[in-house]
Structure 1
Amino acid sequence: MNKGSFLQIVDTLSMGGTERMSVNISGVLAERGWESHLVVSRKSGGLETFIPNGVTVHYLNKKTFYDVFAFWNLLKITRRVNPNIVHAHSTSVFWAVLLKMVLGKFVLVWHDHFGLSDQLRIYPRKEMILLSKWISKIVVVNHKLESFWKMTFSYRENDVQYIPNFPWLVLNPEGKFEKFTFLNLANFRPQKDQLNLLEAIYLLKSEGLNFRTLLVGEWVDPEWGTMVRKKAEELDLGDFVEFVGPVNDISAYLQKSHAGVLSSESEGLPVALLEYGLAALPVVTTNVGDCEKVICRENLGIIVPKSSPKELAEGMKKFLLDYHKSKELGENLKTFVEMEFGKEKFLQKYEELLGQKI
């Protein structure tokens, strides 16, 4: 039974958290009996091969914000699909609002994935006050964003809802890498602070510990990526760090690594952290965004201050010295993530926000 038509808009299908959420949501809605459409405005990417069954993908090949031809294609798609709900991720909300102005029939949900939630005073995004007239509901990825938008739109705070990201992985049983391996699943940009991680790795190397770290992610900021590579060379970390870059299938890396690490200086709720959990990896992460909502007890992992290589190294060292105990943390985290951050939890909160059954 077709419950209705659901259309999402996202910039790309690169291997980032925002993009993974758009793919996950599209799959879940298709499972629930919705006609599920995913509009990719700018370009495809590694996630294209992971589009779930029952999801229709549309590409606009948008060149600039003022690409009239691409917007005309979006209008045609939307008229044909006739969605009950349009769900716009991040900056896609600008074109979604234009759609709402022209067509005006659907519920418009904006999904704010703003990663610099610790710097909202610097980036207040005042333009959203003007756009809010056409936005029906706002989904945010952490509590700081929720508080910020509820305060900004105090007259309609019930239209703002924090809904945690949820992971969706298919894992096949595989053995671990021979050498103890940390996995850093993060795109290359300053927010992810791989320099912090390299400094921690250097401290562990100086203690004579034997391991390696895989850096897996898109080269979102080439200048930052170059800086990280140069730092690794300066610290002579060739035997300890491998720059994997973007990959289409992260499941094998999750399955074969021994532990996960995040060294970010700012986050929302990183999907990578939840994916570490689903893969039962013991995790050490910086205390940014809503990471503390996931690693909320000592038996779930290790959480350390941001921008502190020494404390990050101490956390990683515990896994290296006692892998048996750290595996217990990974199993605990897997159970917790499945219970608290699964797709059913997302749908429950999404229904509460919309005030209708999905």
Structure 2
Amino acid sequence: MKVLQLIDSLHAGGAERLAVNYANALSPRIEKSYLCATREEGLLKDSISKDVEYLFLNKKSTFDFKAINKLFLFIKTNRIDIIHAHSSSFFLATIIRILNPKIDLIWHEHYGNRAQTSIFNKFVLKSCSYFFSSIITANNSLKSRSEKKLVVKKVYVLPNYPVIDASLKTTRLHGVSNKRIICLANLRTDKDHINLLNAFFEVRALKSDWTLHLVGHYNEDDYYKTIKKFILQQHLENHVFIYGSRPDVYHILSQSAIGVLASKSEGLPVALLEYGLAKLPVVATNVGDCKNVISNNAEGILVDAQNSKELAEALLVYINDLDLRNKVAENLHLKVMSTFSETNVMKSLLNIYKNHQK
């Protein structure tokens, strides 16, 4: 069996990490594993296993015929059986599927905020779904939505899982040791950093020696400028730090005391699992499948989305109780290790692939 993971970029986002993790984990388990980045490369390129064959298309537009032909020939030459398309790469994958009807196309839905996209984008996705062999989703709500809104018979739920490379140690966080709050999330509106900043502003008023660290890819867009403006207006320049994408996630987490996610929407955030793997106590908004990771107060604290006061209060609970932080961190670590493992996910994924090979 030969399988290609298709992803738009290799920036360090959740879907991108999962595509690389899948390609790497599959390489010893199938005949040949491939990975293709369509539009941009990024930090995750260095994480690709030497046993995975990699292709970069450098696609410039929706109908970049040179890139489409390059991918078509690559798939044909290597006799690839399955395209596993992640997130928005489904459109290019559909074109290839039309050109090569014998190939199986599996779409992986990661985007918890899909319902808020434009009518046109929903129409395009539904039209493309006629060509999907099946869909994989990160949680049951995404599965239900896919079954209702798209034209496909087989929809599976497959949880995300974390992989952290402990060998990389390049980033040094600012601030005081054991008094750092980390947020691993690309700077996008659905991650709601403004909610987090409002909460941290309240925290800082009571705990002035604590700092907040934002790690994730960003563009010089209006959202990023809004975040920077907030930091300057509230005089948080020495308390809130933006790092961009970084490859040494485990090293960054090892320097942190509390992990936080303030999202308005999610599927199953990989960052939440990475916090657990690194033994951090976690405060997260109760969106997507966060409740399946943090199922009780002994594993973390869930708060309502877009409620900065509740988020601040939860952070202060951990800030004020080191023993509680240590207990919760250990509980979450055990949960992630037992429930969200590469071995379990790969077994389920291979069964899905094999169902299409019969």
Superposition TM-score, scaled by structure 2 size: 0.92
Indicate how the Cα distance of structure 1 residues 65 and 346 shifts in structure 2: closer, same or farther if over 3 A, else same: same
Deviation string for 1:35-81 (max 9, x for gaps)? 11101111110111111231111011110011111111111111111
1:153, distance to aligned residue in structure 2 (A) = 4.9
Q: Distance in 1 between matches of 2:61 and 2:127?
A: 21
Q: Does 1:131 align with 2:128?
A: yes
Q: Distance in 2 between matches of 1:318 and 1:23?
A: 36
Indicate how the Cα distance of structure 1 residues 304 and 121 shifts in structure 2: closer, same or farther if over 3 A, else same: farther
Partner of 1:267, secondary structure, is coil
Deviation string for 1:120-150 (max 9, x for gaps)? 7978813333222221010112221111112
**Contact 1:6/1:85 (CA < 8 Å) preserved in 2?**
yes
**Structure 2: segments with no counterpart, 5+ residues:** none
Deviating more after overlay: 277-286 vs 90-99: 90-99
Partner of 1:38, secondary structure, is strand
1:217, distance to aligned residue in structure 2 (A) = 0.7
Indicate how the Cα distance of structure 1 residues 76 and 218 shifts in structure 2: closer, same or farther if over 3 A, else same: same
Partner of 2:288, secondary structure, is coil
Q: Distance in 1 between matches of 2:115 and 2:292?
A: 15
Q: Distance in 2 between matches of 1:83 and 1:280?
A: 39
Give runs of aligned pairs for residues 209-288 of structure 1, distance below 5 A: 209-220=208-219, 222-288=221-287
1:192, distance to aligned residue in structure 2 (A) = 0.8
Indicate how the Cα distance of structure 1 residues 132 and 46 shifts in structure 2: closer, same or farther if over 3 A, else same: same
1:220, distance to aligned residue in structure 2 (A) = 4.0
1:229, distance to aligned residue in structure 2 (A) = 1.0
Indicate how the Cα distance of structure 1 residues 122 and 234 shifts in structure 2: closer, same or farther if over 3 A, else same: farther
1:349, distance to aligned residue in structure 2 (A) = 2.8
Q: Distance in 2 between matches of 1:167 and 1:59?
A: 24
Count of residues in correspondence between the two structures = 353
What residue is the counterpart of 2:24 in the other structure?
27
One-letter code of the match for 1:107?
Answer: D
**Contact 2:164/2:249 (CA < 8 Å) preserved in 1?**
no
Partner of 2:85, secondary structure, is strand
**Contact 1:115/1:267 (CA < 8 Å) preserved in 2?**
yes
Q: Distance in 2 between matches of 1:45 and 1:326?
A: 34
Q: Does 1:6 align with 2:7?
A: no
**Contact 2:104/2:356 (CA < 8 Å) preserved in 1?**
no
What residue is the counterpart of 2:83 in the other structure?
86
One-letter code of the match for 1:286?
Answer: T
1:26, distance to aligned residue in structure 2 (A) = 0.2
Deviation string for 1:272-297 (max 9, x for gaps)? 11111110110000111111111111
115, 139, 144: which is aligned to 2:141? 144
**Contact 2:263/2:305 (CA < 8 Å) preserved in 1?**
yes
**Structure 1: segments with no counterpart, 5+ residues:** none
Q: Percent identity?
A: 33
Q: Distance in 1 between matches of 2:294 and 2:123?
A: 32
What residue is the counterpart of 1:291 in the other structure?
290
One-letter code of the match for 1:17?
Answer: G
Deviating more after overlay: 107-116 vs 171-180: 171-180
Q: Distance in 2 between matches of 1:99 and 1:227?
A: 39
What residue is the counterpart of 1:305 in the other structure?
304
